[in-house]
A and B are shown apart, each in its own frame.
Chain A
């Protein structure tokens, strides 16, 4: 008896349960599974949109940074966060966490796109062009956005020597020294964005639900060419975007904003619901009455004074938390327009005017299209300044202003368009882990 008991006890002690150590996660899948099927790669593509629409990327912060950098007496940052305030006052610390988050989250969008592109062969033949086109759209757009803020403006010249951001075209699978990449030049990054978006435009379908289509790619290209002062390219891309015929202007100006589903005018917009999606323009520009923060950005009279009487675009501004606010970003859980059709008319008008052409339509007609929708009468003929002024008002606080200032070689107060202060520093965080990244001028060593 005793022997049996001892043997039993020994058995208990020696019994293994090795297989109990092979546990599998229940809320994640491994890398090899993630890109193994057609449907998984398409889900990863949606993941790339998710990444691009992150609040730190085009989900609001990039747009806000543009407006804060440009803010010359027209807006006022009054929020508690000192990181946007540094951007607003043009004295950005290299440790600014908002800037660092924009960098890392942008590259996340690039990495997810690269993952999708690396697995394009897994996608059903019928869908390969579309999926590839969308991934290229996301990657090209992200490079363009990064270059605009982390590099000197294209218009500053020396694009082949001025530094922009590193170009990464393969997905990251492991951490190796190959990740210690140096910065590419402004010209190289612009060319990358043009190549990606040109190929995207050729691959994408004309109609693609709320996702990137030919119009979106052409519209993004028109922005790039405009930054490069390549007016022919900008004109033709804007003209194509209009002629694909997918979009029409909304009847009223305010119909173009605060929508739960895309308006007819949305060339490309991020989808936001009460369950998902960031809209940081709402978060910082609206007020606590609407569920945002305390109204961190105030609109000043200097801006409101720019509008002529009867301009319906002025009606969109509203008073809340004791200051004027931009109504484009008033409501919670609404889509975030990234490109509206109106911009294409204005780009085409400006480019046609500069080139003395009438591709698509005359500049006067295009401007009138915009003005009449805003409730304003025909005041043609329009000068270049008239066209640019129309653009400034139509696209006010949508994230375009600093880039227009830079390409038009204007200034912000006494900061010239190519001033060091109007370019972001390379985040200290990045330079700590990658010694090959040089800092931008004006930000210490």
Chain B
């Protein structure tokens, strides 16, 4: 019947054509980019249904009416072109590749789709856009490029943790990182730090083991409609990573080499010099004596104020003498050490070399690559190396079966640093006194008691912390064509990560008393995944349907061992076999599994109306028996208004689509076995013990996010300007939270589904081709995202979980954003006596007693909006790309403020602003009186909260392509030289090193925006050479 209709239609058409006295036109369609023929191009006579399709050589042939005909050439990925036929009979056409992105193909879960047919929100970033960005981790390269995707490096340490949040944080205790899926395989993002497994957010990131030059595209699924196909794991968004595939044709080689150097974005915070140090602490001793005798209860029982002063003076001088190396050099300020500069590496280098080959035949296609990436960090003893290879192969075995393999192997070696709160971390060096010489008379690094604290330089000279990761990521797949429109695909994927962290701290480090300390941690995670699904797509007249249905199963098993040892015979023997005493060790194992069924149907009518339904059932071992399965549905619809008659011929508006979606998605990233009441083994008196470690919660289940998204996609002037506007509301409830419980229970917290968070906001994306003539092309792309995060419920009764720990203030308050800074508000200094003042609960009266201070919202670590602005200009062989990236409206608490900016509370060197301390009655200042040993404003309060908004010149690339004529002479196909600058300029009011930080040892969803000697970001300048042949 169908066939009959088709034939009838063709016959009618034929009649119509012949009736119009047609003549034949032929020609060839090629790509304007490289002149290659374009097969499958639609050629239609405008205003008619007459058309043809170009063949495999790009040739077409069709009949047109005698006069006035206009041909329209259209092809996915290229801009449409209209040509008046006039009297021509041979029309060769070059199509420009489409920069408007509307007709691009985006990757969706278990398939792909035309961007213009999308009803959900997916942002695609091409691998080529971030090629050559000199950072080790792909997420760093994405920063500022996608609306609503917030990327934050926790510090400038190379190869360490990076936080990614898509449309805000939507969880309390569960992981809020997006799900990463590489070629269909959900991958593992955890590694170990100090024997602890963790998430990417607070440890070294497993994503650093992926060479992002191999990546064809990143497709970030942001709304529920796009991500619900990943069900219980989708509420943080999903990043689909597709690696490059070969194309039939000549084998092309590409060699890329980069060489450069980096430095901190801001080197100095500004510290006291020797003279100022001695002056300030001498004053501090005197003031403390007066305070102690008169106001602090005279606990030492001094007989007079003078006696107290003399005692304090003697004490402070004995300290100066000690810090000078037990001499009186402090009196003459002979030594003035700038410790901070010693924490940085001299001229750290970046060296990257990448070679790939791609090609194949109609039946066999391949892509292979190899990379060596060596980046030295800006801090001493910190560097990153990656060696990686990839093979992607696809073979068409027959007309109905093809199979392939995607396989990568990577080895990374990171020389890591101890965490930000460790005395050995390089930047804690700023606490040391400027009067202390770096080395003693024998040339050895000074250590305690001469240095105030442990000298972290010793870790660099006498310790090492080497983390090696071997990672195999890949799998095989087969695609069976069962019928013309029906295929079945099977993926068998795996992600094998083996990590070994070797630490050795020698006889001069903090482990001196035990003649060294060694630790070896091994971690192996084997993550197996299979997807099996049917895909169906068919056009019935003006109806188009495409659907998938299938299942997936994933199981991940993690094994870990740890051994520590002490008493090494010499610092040259660093492995634990040389340890005299093995003083600790354990092995550990954990596992989880997911069993899932999913389906999706897309329907399109008349190229105008779009509808999509999807659903997934997920079961996981992580949840209570009764709450084990969850169902995650989503629905969305779109309307392409420009395909309606009333807008069809609009000269200005070339594309307009309205879309809306709603769906329910989940988050299950909570670690394993949290539903059970557990006891674990311990040790006492060399005997094993049993201790209760976890309270049961049989009702533990998913976090559920209900997300609504309304969006508008538009294009003006033949899509010269395109853009998207989205508004979303993301309501997450059943939040998995380690809720604090009364300590009298014997426990601190229990994981439960309590609480709710709302994220709502809007996103704007604009792309424009500003100029495109005479070889000069200038494009701009802008993205902006505003997000408002609000905790809407805790456990129903509780309204706040206060987080003031004396250093940081991150709290949970109903009605406020997650992790808001809630605590005492600093009210300046009492002009009468130099006391630090805080506001009481009424917000008006003040007190000098920290315990009497009221609690206020004094800052918010969540950015209000994030944005990126990219401009590209190309002219002749030159190209210039400038990316600005910014974050606005967020605050940072300097948790080390109580040490480094604490009006000389203890002997830590102070920031220079402490010099404006209160000195005599009547002084109006914000730095309280210096009182050595007495807390005068050093506990956590708004005093240490700062605006951390910033605007950064993220990436600048200037390149030059040698002319083809020249390149061809030396038998190459392309040569490009370029220079890339990263983080060249940072504009911020944050007084610390850099506003993009979060202290690693405490980072969680709630604990954000904390500075604790965290390293600034790296500013780098790299030269590159790219050769194609």
Chain A interface residues toward B at CB < 8 A? 2, 5-6, 9, 12-18, 20-23, 25-31, 33-34, 40, 43-44, 46-47, 49-51, 53, 71-73, 80, 82-83, 85-86, 89-91, 93-97, 100, 103-104, 107-108, 110-112, 114-115, 166, 168, 171-175, 179-181, 210, 271, 273-277, 287-292, 294-295, 302, 321-322, 332, 412-415, 421, 425, 427-430, 432-434, 443-444
Contact = CB atoms under 8 A, between A and B. Distances in A.
A399 to B, nearest CB: 18
A429 B745 CA distance: 13
A129 to B, nearest CB: 20
Contacts of B804: 95, 428
B593 A173 contact: no
A2 B933 CA distance: 84
Given A20-B555, A96-B806, A27 B448 contact: no
Contacts of B690: 29, 34, 40, 43-44, 46-47
Interface string B313-357: 000001000100010000000000000000000000000000000
A100 B804 CA distance: 12
Give me the 3 closest cross-chain CB pairs, A-B, nearest first.
A111-B746, A291-B513, A413-B299
Contacts of A412: 297, 299
Nearest to B741: A175
A6 B299 contact: no
Contacts of B745: 107, 111, 168, 172, 175, 179
24 contacts: A6-B488, A9-B488, A13-B550, A14-B551, A21-B621, A30-B679, A46-B682, A46-B690, A47-B689, A47-B690, A82-B806, A86-B935, A89-B296, A89-B935, A91-B935, A93-B806, A108-B746, A271-B684, A291-B513, A321-B449, A415-B299, A429-B802, A432-B740, A433-B742
B938 A173 contact: no
B542 interface: no
Contacts of A110: 746
A414 B512 contact: no
Contacts of A443: 851
A273 B581 CA distance: 12
Contacts of A43: 681, 688-690
A31 B593 contact: no
Interface in B283-324: 296-301, 318, 322
A291 B694 CA distance: 33
Contacts of B514: 291, 332
A6 B742 contact: no
A166 B935 contact: no
A210 B553 CA distance: 52
A294 B513 CA distance: 12
Given A95-B939, A274-B583, 10 more contacts: A31-B677, A34-B679, A47-B690, A47-B691, A50-B684, A95-B940, A171-B746, A172-B747, A173-B696, A292-B513
Contacts of A427: 743
Nearest to A25: B673
A428 B677 contact: no
A94 B581 CA distance: 42
Contact of A107 (B318, B566, B744, B940): B744
Contacts of A83: 806
Nearest to B746: A111
B620 interface: yes
B592 interface: yes
B588 A27 contact: yes
B788 interface: no
A65 B265 CA distance: 43
Contacts of A291: 511-514
Contacts of B449: 287, 294-295, 321-322
B680 A5 contact: no
Nearest to A108: B746
Most A CB contacts (10 A, CB to CB) among B322, B549, B684, B686 go to: B684
B441 interface: no
Given A97-B806, A111-B745, A321-B448, A34 B692 contact: yes
Contacts of B581: 274
Contacts of A107: 743-746
Contacts of B898: 82
B591 interface: yes
Nearest to A167: B744
Given A168-B744, A430-B743, A433-B740, A85 B933 contact: yes
Given A23-B592, A175-B750, A181-B744, A31 B696 contact: yes
A72 B628 CA distance: 60
B1003 interface: no
A413 B301 contact: yes
B259 interface: no
Contacts of A421: 297
A133 B908 CA distance: 49
Given A31-B679, A97-B805, A22 B691 contact: no
Given A415-B297, A421-B297, A429-B740, A9 B482 contact: yes
Q: Is the interface of B mostly helix, strand, loop or mixed?
A: mixed
B846 to A, nearest CB: 14
A21 B619 contact: yes
B532 interface: yes
A116 to B, nearest CB: 10
B91 interface: no
Nearest to B628: A21
Most chain B CB inside 10 Å of its own CB: which residue of A13, A94, A171: A13
Contact of B939 (A16, A82, A181): A82
Question: Which residue, B482, B589, B678, has most C-beta atoms of chain A within 10 A?
Answer: B678
Contacts of B691: 44, 47, 50-51, 112
A34 B75 CA distance: 68
Contacts of B933: 85, 89
B480 A9 contact: yes
A17 B689 contact: no
A49 B685 contact: yes
A428 B849 CA distance: 15
Contact of B673 (A28, A46, A168, A414): A28
A53 B683 CA distance: 11
A271 B851 CA distance: 38
B682 A50 contact: yes
Given A97-B805, A294-B453, A444-B849, A28 B694 contact: yes
A175 to B, nearest CB: 5
Given A91-B935, A172-B747, A290 B513 contact: yes
Contacts of B940: 95
A85 B684 contact: no
B684 A433 contact: no
A444 B550 CA distance: 62
B299 A73 contact: yes
Nearest to B315: A76
A15 B597 CA distance: 10
B695 interface: yes
Given A72-B300, A107-B745, A46 B689 contact: yes
Contact of A173 (B482, B677, B798): B677
Contact of B534 (A9, A166, A275): A9
A20 B553 contact: yes
Contacts of A277: 683-685
- Chain A CB count within 10 A is highest, among B683, B685, B696, B747, for B685
Contacts of A27: 588-590, 680-681
A402 to B, nearest CB: 12
B695 A173 contact: yes
B551 A13 contact: yes
Query: Chain B CB within 10 Å — which of A12, A14, A168, A433 has the most?
Result: A433
A38 to B, nearest CB: 13
Interface string B972-1013: 000000000000000000000000000000000000000000
A432 B800 contact: yes
B850 interface: yes
Residue among B300, B619, B849 facing the most chain A CB atoms (10 A cut-off): B300
A40 B938 CA distance: 48
A258 to B, nearest CB: 14
